[in-house]
Chain A
Amino acid sequence: MYKHKLMKNQLILNPRRLMRLVGNNLNFSPKSIGLVLLFGIGINLGAAWMSSMDSTPDPEFYLIWFGLSLFITGFLFSSFAFNNMSTDAGRQFYLSLPASNLEKVLSKYLLTAIAFPLLALVMFTIIATLSNLFFFQPKMIQIDGFDPFGTITWLLIKIYLVLHGIYLLGSVVYSKLAIIKISLATFVFAGSIAGLTFLFIGSIFGFDFQDGPPFEPTQSFKDFLEFRVWPTIQFLFWAVLPVLSAVLVFLKLKEKEL
């Protein structure tokens, strides 16, 4: 009964309060947000200019730079989402703010999962237009344009949406250097899981890549990989990982004390 009541209190959602939280998040550090934007535009324009010096630039130049910008800036932004809780006084202020736990978490997700990718798309469309106009077209260099609705663009955004939840979690858990700590933790965790999966599959099919004879996969092994392992990995990545990280962000914030 008590647990039920506790959970109900955590799940209160008032849209007006939520939007106010979103607005306040943007208000927190307008200077730093502006600086990050300028930095992002500057870096990308600089990269485009450098690339225009090359007579045969990578035709997928924009996609590569979009991916890099989305991931690096996005993960940085996500890892700073709860940065106002990095000091005792800031944590006290934020935890005492009259809004539910759900509203506080959702307000961060709205910024990092919706506002940021949209902003990145708009920014990159502008950057690509400017770069084409000033750097590539004058030199008659042919380069693929940036398609904000392209398949790969959306695949990159989907990957960002899945992975940024881990950085949001790191922002709640760690007070300082969240991006470094969470990157290291994710790397170690993902590496361990991959290693264990490799050993597990090896033990099932009785092969040893290092010392055994050359490995020639049987049809049953190929089927196992294609119909069991790959769909499971996809399910874990696209469905379980984002939901799990969102739930953990919610629970970690709920349990947060001074």
Chain B
Amino acid sequence: MIHLDHLNYHYTRSRPLFTDLQLYLSPGHIYGLLGRNGAGKTTLLRLIAGLLFPKDGICEVGNWTPSDRHPDFLSDVFFMPEEIYVPDLKITQFLRNYAPFYPKFDRTQFDKFIGTFGLRADENMRKLSYGQKKKVMLGFGLASGASVLILDEPTNGLDIPSKAQFRQILSESITDDRIIILSTHQVRDVSTLIERLILLDNGKILFQDSLLRVSEKLAFNIYPKEPKAGSVYYAERIPGGYMAVEDRAASVEEDTDIDLEVLFNALITDPGKITQLFNVQA
């Protein structure tokens, strides 16, 4: 469980980033954290990981206060940032040196992940490409047995086959007691993974709900011409027509695939109507 209550954070006093931020994340789900540049996504992830300290309010992860950086907390939360650091070691040495810090580390699982990603354990981590380093750290994080996995832009640097492998590995890794948070701008890479969506804008949670509910409430239809307002909340031009987000009750098509990018744009452009539909305060 991750619980943020009346959390305040700022880098400079004159520009508060989070004011009275409220968030509750329950185990067993993959959360997608979306937001514009500078919305505070990475800051939020760092607060949850105990790498930044709230100025005020509550931030709890399980029974831990992240800013304490208790060793048991640190071994139960794995944060893979966008820019990753790897020591000048071979993968096997890295494992020998760092896996013992994670009591639930599963070597067999790690070897499986590394094998899936086509990496050799005797390779020096510093000599790997950016994407390969990410794969090693991702495999390490998943095998660490951490209950909370925080991945900031996890698909950046991954080639096309690796993205599919990443999705497969991650979907297999979610368990009832694990929370996975993905923060990304590459929504198409993770759209099939995300179960619950959190949209952060200007330091506030603009929208938070499950994609199951989104599919129950909204439809994503393509129109050859710009659709008229009414049940359409938002429409954007795409090659060959318009992609519209509309009330599913009024939609001609019943089952449509969720387009996260369009949903994101719809929520950013005019959050009022959609959040009202979900009975969430904007």
Interface string of A98-136 (1 = CB under 8 A from B): 111101000000000000000000000000000000000
Please state if A92 and B87 are interface contacts (CB–CB under 8 Å): no
Interface string of B236-251 (1 = CB under 8 A from A): 0000000000000000
Interface string of B42-56 (1 = CB under 8 A from A): 000010011111000
Of B49, B51, B88, the contact of A28 (CB 8 Å cutoff) = B88
Known: A6-B68, A258-B51. A92 touches B85 (CB 8 A): yes
Verify if A228 is at the interface (C-beta below 8 Å from B): no
Please state if A27 and B97 are interface contacts (CB–CB under 8 Å): yes
Verify if A14 is at the interface (C-beta below 8 Å from B): yes
Please state if A29 and B88 are interface contacts (CB–CB under 8 Å): yes
Closest to A92 in B: B81
The residues of B that contact A5 with a CB separation of less than 8 Å are 68
The residues of B that contact A87 with a CB separation of less than 8 Å are 85
The residues of B that contact A20 with a CB separation of less than 8 Å are 97, 100-101
List residues 20-57 of chain A with CB under 8 A from any CB of chain B: 20, 23-24, 27-29, 31
Closest to B97 in A: A24
Chain B count of residues within 8 A CB distance of the other chain: 31
Q: How many contacting A-B pairs (Cβ < 8 A)? A: 78
The minimal Cβ–Cβ distance linking B218 to chain A, given in whole angstroms, is 37
Known: A20-B97, A87-B85, A89-B84. A95 touches B71 (CB 8 A): no
Verify if A17 is at the interface (C-beta below 8 Å from B): yes
Please state if A100 and B53 are interface contacts (CB–CB under 8 Å): no
List residues 71-107 of chain A with CB under 8 A from any CB of chain B: 84, 87-90, 92-93, 95-101, 103
Please state if A96 and B74 are interface contacts (CB–CB under 8 Å): yes
Please state if B70 and A97 are interface contacts (CB–CB under 8 Å): no
- Give the docked Cα–Cα distance between A185 and B85 (Å): 30
Main secondary structure on chain A at its contact with chain B?
helix
Please state if B83 and A88 are interface contacts (CB–CB under 8 Å): yes
Please state if B101 and A98 are interface contacts (CB–CB under 8 Å): yes
Verify if B89 is at the interface (C-beta below 8 Å from A): yes
Please state if A257 and B101 are interface contacts (CB–CB under 8 Å): no
Please state if A14 and B98 are interface contacts (CB–CB under 8 Å): no
Verify if A9 is at the interface (C-beta below 8 Å from B): yes
Verify if B79 is at the interface (C-beta below 8 Å from A): yes
The residues of A that contact B87 with a CB separation of less than 8 Å are 27-28, 84
- Give the docked Cα–Cα distance between A101 and B73 (Å): 13
Q: Chain A: residues with CB nearer than 8 A to chain B?
A: 5-6, 9-10, 12, 14, 17, 20, 23-24, 27-29, 31, 84, 87-90, 92-93, 95-101, 103, 254, 257-258
- The 21 sampled A-B contact pairs (Cβ below 8 Å) are A6-B68, A14-B71, A17-B101, A20-B101, A23-B97, A31-B88, A88-B83, A89-B83, A90-B85, A92-B51, A93-B85, A96-B50, A96-B51, A96-B77, A96-B79, A98-B71, A100-B69, A100-B71, A103-B71, A254-B69, A258-B51
